[in-house]
Amino acid sequence: MSHSVKIYDTVIRWYTICICILELLLTTYAFCYHFQSDDPLIQLVEDYKWIDFFDFHWRLGIDGLSIGPILLTGFITTLATLAAWPVTRDSRLFHFLMLAMYSGQIGSFSSRDLLLFFIMWELELIPVYLLLAMWGGKKRLYSATKFILYTAGGSVFLLMGVLGVALYGSNEPTLNFETSVNQSYPVVLEIIFYIGFFIAFAVKSPIIPLHTRLPDTHVEAHYSTCMLLAGILLKMGAYGLIRINMELLPHAHSIFSPWLMIIGTIQIIYAASTSLGQRNLKKRIAYSSVSHMGFIIIGISSLIDTGLNGALLQIISHGFIGAAHFFLAGTTYDRIRLVYLDEMGGIAIPMPKMFTMFSSFSMASLALPGMSGFTYEYAWIIPFIPLPVPMLIGAGLILFPTATKVFAQINSSSVYQYVWSWIINNDFSLDFGYLIDPLTSIMSILITTVGIMVLIYSDNYMAHDQGYLRFFAYMSFFSTSMLGLVTSSNLIQIYIFWELVGLCSYLLIGFWFTRPVAANACQKAFVTNRVGDFGLLLGILGFYWITRSFEFRDLFKIFNNLIYNNEVNFLFVTLCAVLLFAGAVAKSAQFPLHVWLPDAMEGPTPISALIHAATMVAAGISCSSASSSFQSYTLHNVFDLGYRNNNSIIRSYFSSCSKRH
């Protein structure tokens, strides 16, 4: 009997997987051969009248906004079905609920009728509730009840909004999306509709303070269900904000967009800070997802194409990253039966492949250059720059107006070599090249000399260490990143190599990661430097917003012309210069971002010498890129940097003396 049950369960699993793969292939085929990406109209329309009484149609169709989430849904659902292979209890019902949720999600993304959108929206709630209540953890009933209460409450507002939009201004209900888009409403009524829809989508996304059901749901759910929740369910709320709030109610959206941007910013900071304090791995990932949704909210509220494109890219990117994180967390739990981070130290040794995949997706979540999160990071943050300065940083950062002289032309004896173009379109291009001038030559010689000396010394020092090859791989990557940093020809290259240097520092400081002290030291260094790097990013984008160029060969000329014509906001430029310098402050361990450097000495001894030399070089590059002129201000920056370094040494000496006594 048990043997026949196992065969039956296997058949059910294979049937579900085949259905998911078939739907994914059909969707991909339709996208590749029948979808016109340059056509803004609704395509592949299916329209059948369902109920004559109030003009209710089975109306489906896709456009550029919906095709991405639909493909994402098919891919993530297929992976989640594979991840659910170990589920043996009531597997037929489990896989039926997975397919039912799949249908509701696809229907929500492709609906072109308001009432059909609501029905599909509700259709996927019941499977989620049952998956939580029947296959969850110890507190599954509590989390399932909390989930259904939150989402059902939001659905009430969604239904009221749908009925209000459908019944306004006509004798018969109007449920067609295309007809509703052309409908105009009184401002007060449009605001009321907007608030109702927003509450429904804020619960789904979620948006603070309606986010508290999410961590409990993710902690208790089976990890295959978590993949669907993080990868698709959260994105349905963002899709609804764009499809209904932004398209149907544009005037109210323009009124609320500044407040949404503030909410998104608060959500990023609050959820990220809360995530760092979680001991449970799945709960930490859940709060990280809430933080990432803040980026989407900012992009949607930016009111420009660049920000909206960034939000859409984030929907796709975080769909993959979030699902991958929960899959890895769940499979790790299946192997070691541990969920608390302080009990999972050293899993890289017994599970190196799992550790490598988790690290890779974590770097993508951090928007490391070259990964999916990096593109949308620039896309959403550029529209955020023009906001009033006090909204961004605060009036406390208003400094001397003389900081407007931080840009100037490159030395006339410099050599620029074009290599290739990264991005080219009608309005924007980014060239990859290298710049050689007197300062670059000095820095390159310094990096090469110190790097060779450290490598020679390390050969004997690390000869008996098991991580010998890994150490020299990190060292080579570090030296390459430093040389790329000092020879960069534009601000984007500087930021990319700057982040690569930070990654190498993290790997080298935590080289002996099995030691708790070393693991804590590398985390402390990484987090502290990210604070400065975020300021550096804001400064770079601020100068781009002023000059519309990242290239040094154009940057200083444009900036000098703007100063000459008195077209520069001196307060804003001062702020950008301070933010740009914040990266150097963190990287060179200057006060108040110096706390990571003493602990960074927990790595191998050669790393201590390399970090001391390299961090000062990186700081010098940052100062030089923000200098008024490479000819007249280089000496000033060197003396200023030397003064700050000596001040740090003196302060460190007295601090060590006080600790000794």
Q: Is the pLDDT of residue 633 over 70?
A: no
* pTM of the complete model: 0.60
**Range in 135-149, 307-321, 492-506 with the lowest mean pLDDT:** 492-506
Residue 24 pLDDT grade (very low, low, confident, very high; cuts 50, 70, 90) = very high
Report the pLDDT value the prediction gives residue 482, as an integer from 0 to 100: 81
Q: Is the pLDDT of residue 590 over 70?
A: no
Res. 638 pLDDT band, cuts 50 70 90? very low
Residue 650 CB: number of other CB atoms within 10 A?
Answer: 10
Instruction: Average the pLDDT over 284-303 and give the result.
Output: 88
Query: 290: which 2 tokens?
Result: 């809430």
Higher pLDDT, 12 or 620: 12
Q: Residue 174 in 3-state DSSP?
A: coil
Q: Which helix (H) or strand (E) holds 391?
A: helix 389-392
| pLDDT for 625 beyond 80 | no
C-alpha distance from residue 312 to each of 118, 319, 383 (Å): 22, 11, 15
Q: pLDDT of 544-566, one tens digit each?
A: 777 777 777 677 677 677 766 77
Say what the pLDDT of residue 438 is: 67
User: 208 vs 457, which has greater pLDDT?
Assistant: 208
Mean per-residue pLDDT, 518-534: 77
Residue 140: pLDDT above 80? Answer: yes
One-letter identity of residue 36: Q
- Residue 405 scores a pLDDT above 70: no
pLDDT at 614 over 80: no
Q: What is the pLDDT of residue 78?
A: 93
pLDDT of residue 408: 38
Q: Which residue has the higher pLDDT, 576 or 359?
A: 359
pLDDT band at 615 (very low <50, low <70, confident <90, very high): low
Q: Calculate mean pLDDT across residues 386-397.
A: 42
Name the band, by pLDDT with cuts 50, 70 and 90, for residue 495.
confident
Check: CB of residue 497 under 8 Å from CB of residue 503: no
Q: pLDDT category, 376, cuts 50, 70, 90?
A: low
CB 193 within 8 A of CB 164: yes
Instruction: Report helix angle 91-110 to 2-33, nearest 10.
Output: 10
Cα gap 447→482, rounded to integer Å:
7
Give the residue, 279 or 634, on which the prediction is more confident: 279
Could you tell me how far CA 568 lies from the centroid of its own chain? 31
- Rounded CA gap, 74 and 77, in Å? 5
Q: Is 21 a residue whose pLDDT tops 90?
A: yes
What pLDDT was estimated at residue 512?
76
Sequence letter at residue 552: F
pLDDT at 165: 87
* pLDDT computed for residue 660 by the predictor: 35
Q: Are strands 415-424 and 429-436 parallel, antiparallel or unpaired?
A: antiparallel
pLDDT tens digits, 337-369? 888 877 777 777 788 888 888 888 888 887 777
Rounded CA separation 144/130 (Å) = 8
Question: Whose CA is closest to 67, among 96, 32, 91, 99?
Answer: 32
What average pLDDT does the segment 148-156 reach? 90
Per mean pLDDT, which of 33-47, 416-430, 603-617 is the most reliable?
33-47
Query: If you ran DSSP here, which 8-state letter would residue 612 be given?
Result: H
pLDDT in tens, 84-110: 888 878 888 999 999 999 999 999 999
Instruction: Output the average pLDDT for the chain.
Output: 77
- For residue 294, the number of C-alpha atoms closer than 13 Å in the C-beta half-sphere is 23
Looking up tokens 């109610």 gives: 249
78, 42 contact by CB (below 8 A): no
The residue with greater pLDDT, 589 or 247, is 247
**What's the rounded mean pLDDT across residues 460-486?**
79
Q: Provide the pairing of β-strand 43-51 with 415-424.
A: unpaired
| Token pair of 225 as six digits | 């269900």
Confidence (pLDDT) at 580: 73
SS3 content of the chain, % helix, strand, coil (to 5): 70, 5, 20
Q: Is 418 exposed, middle or buried (0-12, 13-18, 19+ CB in 10 A)?
A: exposed
What is the structure's pLDDT at 612? 62
